Amino acid sequence: MAPRYMSPMIRRRPSEEKTQTNNEPPQDARTLQSASAQQNASAPQIEEISEPPEESILLASGTYRQIRDYSLVLLSQGVIHRLERSSEGPFEIYVTPENEAKSRYQLKLYIKENPPREENPPIPLSFSLQPLWVLLVPVICTFADFGNFVERMHLQGLADADKILRGEWWRTITAITLHGDARHLAGNLVTGYIVLNLMAYRIPLARMVPFLAIGSALANLAVAATVQTDYRALGFSSFVFASIGSLAVIEFRLMPHETHGMLRRFAPLCGALSLAVFLGLGENADILGHFYGFFVGCLCGIIPKKKMLRWGTPTTLPDLFWAALYFGIFAFGWKMALL
């Protein structure tokens, strides 16, 4: 189907004009038609062109409200244009090459008088498969440990503060993949899936999880440096808390600057911090690991560009490199541990 172009008026075909001339309605009918035409004179009409121009230029992209306003500006100037919604989310407006200069000038004047406001439209709830491949690492390693498929796996992979400070740095990585029991594993998997699923709305997980893995290892190193002796820990929870912190900062960056009170803009950070406290406290909980994990996760949330996060970015072939790097981090850590 041909795209719909917006035009300030509907062109009448010559055949229609001839037919109306030969079959003029009575005086009363012409009066009613004139009154109706006057009522609708200010309303823009939509005309479908069967043969759209071969070339069209992207003029602007944004939310529906922004593009709608731009469309009204162009309609007021008699500029034919096309509205579309891209696969990445934003609405887009296109014009023909001969109308580009005029259109940009008119939008420039409009934006100067009406500066656009940042918006963070709600995203409908959906479930992504992306977190599943991320969670494969703790699942495979934990079951290998439970089944004793690898000799000395638990002892060699445990985060022992004294041994880490003596040079066995790889324990900060391997400890992320181990768990004490099935309940411990299940809790981290469920929480991890929920948080990573929300993060997948904004950015392909392959571009974030390598940084979260490194951040989790740094969190374990910070715990060892803080406690120094007689401290052992394990579990994927440091990665989960890093994800919570990262997601909080991402949503904070996307909150509009102009809100009903500045405190509203800090809602994602406050909510994530409350969730971290609720989940991070408990019997045998690695409270320091959770705290440091949340902190380094907040730093990871600054890494992606804001433009990339606003609409979400589709997964591309280069993302395979980031996914391979994620698995490579843990593979290298275990290689060093089992030498």
CA nearest to 293, candidates 175, 140, 145, 184: 175
Residue % of the chain over a pLDDT of 70? 75
Whole-angstrom Cα distance, residue 241 to residue 222?
15
pTM assigned to the model: 0.66
For the ranges 8-12, 52-56, 206-210, 293-297, the lowest mean pLDDT is seen at 8-12
Give the pLDDT of residue 4.
Answer: 46
Which position has the higher pLDDT, 148 or 37?
148
The CATH architecture one would assign to domain 130-337 is: Up-down Bundle (1.20)
Give the pLDDT of residue 238.
Answer: 92
**Averaged pLDDT for residues 157-174:** 92
Which position has the higher pLDDT, 268 or 176?
176
Does the pLDDT of residue 3 top 70, yes or no?
no
Which position has the higher pLDDT, 62 or 187?
187
Give the pLDDT of residue 333.
Answer: 94
Identify any residues that bridge with 60 across adjacent strands, giving them in sequence order.
93
283-305 per-position pLDDT tens digit: 666 788 899 999 999 999 999 98
298-334 per-position pLDDT tens digit: 999 999 988 777 666 777 888 999 999 999 999 999 9
Beta-carbon count within 10 A of 46 CB = 10
116-153 per-position pLDDT tens digit: 665 555 666 778 888 999 999 999 999 999 988 877 88
AA letter at 119: E
Does the pLDDT of residue 58 top 80, yes or no?
yes
Residue-range domain boundaries for the chain: 4-18+25-113, 130-337
**What pLDDT band is residue 72 in, cutting at 50, 70 and 90?**
very high
Give the pLDDT of residue 164.
Answer: 93
The distance between the two most distant Cα atoms of the chain, rounded to a whole number of Å, is 102
Give the pLDDT of residue 123.
Answer: 65
Instruction: Provide φ and ψ at 186, rounded to 5°.
Output: -60, -40
**Where would I find the H helices in the chain?**
14-22, 27-39, 64-76, 100-113, 130-146, 153-157, 161-165, 171-174, 182-199, 209-227, 237-254, 267-280, 287-300, 306-311, 319-337
Whole-angstrom Cα distance, residue 200 to residue 131?
8
Q: For the domain made up of 4-18+25-113, give the CATH fold.
A: Alpha-Beta Plaits (3.30.70)
Does the pLDDT of residue 156 top 70, yes or no?
yes
Residue % of the chain over a pLDDT of 90? 37
By the 8 A CB rule, do 121 and 91 touch? no
Give the pLDDT of residue 128.
Answer: 85
CB neighbours of 184 closer than 8 A, spacing ≥ 6? 235
218-266 per-position pLDDT tens digit: 999 999 999 888 888 899 999 999 999 999 999 888 877 655 556 667 7
Write down the mean pLDDT value for the chain.
79
Give the pLDDT of residue 253.
Answer: 86
23-34 per-position pLDDT tens digit: 444 444 444 344
